[in-house]
Structure 1
Amino acid sequence: VGKFLLINNLFWLHGRDRFTPHPDLRRELMRQRGYFAYAASHYQTHQ
């Protein structure tokens, strides 16, 4: 999913293809973002 998103972002930034967010892709993004936010807060609380 990460490589797929990176490719889409590159295409979107260069304007070659319009980026159309997919519901499942957005759900995956939110899941990853929530995981990273949890990991960051977890690291800070134990520091």
Structure 2
Amino acid sequence: MPQVKQQIIEMALNGSGIRDMARVLEISPCTVFMELKKKSPALSRSTSRC
């Protein structure tokens, strides 16, 4: 599961949508959403530098 969490983050940073990520990773969209919600402060820090 840690590698799936990393893939979610990488896909989000590359602009993939929640449903796309869920379909590709074969997991629930709710799982994707919850993981992104947990990581949102880290994502906002990494994208603010662009």
Fold conserved between structures, TM > 0.5:
no
**TM-score, normalising length: structure 2:** 0.40
Bigger Rg, which one: 1
The TM-score normalised by the length of structure 1 is: 0.42
Higher relative contact order (CA 8 A, sep 6+): 2
